[in-house]
Amino acid sequence: MTAATTAISGPARVDSSPLALARRLQPGDVAIVDALDLDKRAAAALAARRPAAVVNAQACISGRLPTTGALVLLEAGIPVVESAGQDVLAFRDGAQVTVEGDSVASAGRIADAGSRLTLEDVEQRIRVADQDLHVHVASFTATALDLLHRDADLFLDGIGLPELRLPVDGRPVVVVTSRFAGGDEVLARFARERRPVVIGVGDGADAARAAGLNPRIVLGDIDSVGEDVLRRASQVIVHDPAGRDAGLARAQAIGLSHDDCDASLASEDVALLAAHAAGASVVIVAGGRDGLLDYVEDRSTAGAGALLSRLVASGAVVDAAVLPALYRHRYSAWTAWGALGLAAAALLLAAWGTPEGHDALAGAWTWLAETVGGGA
């Protein structure tokens, strides 16, 4: 058999969101997702967990935009089947799945014929899509201008933003979005040392908690957020730009004290702007968007809203991905003095082990004892 037809088997892990799936994916699993135009960030999160294969119910690269998610997976040596149809999403989580060629099967059920991707095919489709990118950028720009005109009061004056009840002025804030995959040691160390206010956005609140961060504020659709995380938060702000009531119903059902926000922006952008308006010294976004394409490929107004929000708060916003290049571990005074003390002790022990050093230290000790004794 060729590499393209060799059968690959493993337990199915099913989630429409690649980033949510990446948090629980284990090496050897078969990742099953539902993502049109799989983006680079989501693919990298999946690749880091080393699945046996990735199966996408939709096209990984539709040709609309030069998305590179499939390329990231293939270059990592992970087989990819795209356009496998909605049937794969019905596979039972944990059930054994076999991927052979274009076929995906589990428990006797065979999904609609997908397409096993190759590097050559993906590279060619990216080149073709790249030729039309300027058209999408122009359309994106027009959408952003319309949005700015419609919501100028919110962007320019902060009207409609929720008021953060925790003291934020002059403090660092970390906004953890649902795209945060965890495993960021530098961010965790920054949080331990600088004690920022952590805002968990929707499912990002659970991701923050799992990463050792403490989301003091939870903002967004709380319908699927763990109850323990919600009750530990100092403030819960229910927000859904689509106008759904699931989060509000959840809050009422569990008797949770909460605030409401009806801004039309995505929750992560509301969190960013609210922190900036409250005077945060810096806003670190964990799980932010990755470059222009990540904004443009969002066919809703969310991409335009995200870019405008970044522009409004541009002087205070940093992506967690660049934190390792900007932040250095800060040692306490006790740590520094302790290190100096250990170094001095090591030098003294080394000197004591030589005849000359032994005599010198003995003479110094005698002199010190006589000096102190004479003074007494």
77-86 pLDDT, tens per residue?
999 999 999 9
Q: Which residue has the higher pLDDT, 36 or 3?
A: 36
Q: What is the C-alpha separation between 45 and 91, in angstroms, rounded?
A: 22
Catalogue the long-range contacts made by 142-148 (C-beta closer than 8 Å, 24 or more residues apart): 143/301, 143/303, 143/304, 144/304, 144/307, 144/308, 147/301, 147/304, 147/305, 147/308, 148/308
8-130: which CATH topology?
Glucose Oxidase; domain 1 (3.50.30)
The ranges assigned to domains in the chain are 8-130, 133-326, 335-375
pLDDT 10s digits, 24-51: 899 999 999 999 999 888 899 899 999 9
* Residue that wins the pLDDT comparison between 5 and 309: 309
Match 């004479």 to its residue by tokens: 374
Strand, helix or coil at 54?
strand
**pTM of this structure:** 0.70
Confidence at residue 150, expressed as pLDDT on a 0 to 100 scale: 92
CB-count burial class (<10 Å; 0-12, 13-18, 19+) for 59: buried
User: What mean pLDDT do residues 295-308 have?
Assistant: 80
CA pair distance 141, 286, nearest whole angstrom: 25
Query: Residue written as tokens 């302790």?
Result: 338
User: Distance (Å, rounded) from C-alpha 278 to C-alpha 283?
Assistant: 11
Residue-wise pLDDT tens digits, 184-232: 888 999 999 999 999 999 989 999 999 999 999 999 999 889 999 999 9
Among the ranges given (24-33, 100-109, 176-185, 288-297), the one the predictor scored with the smallest mean pLDDT: 288-297
Q: What is the pLDDT of residue 358?
A: 62
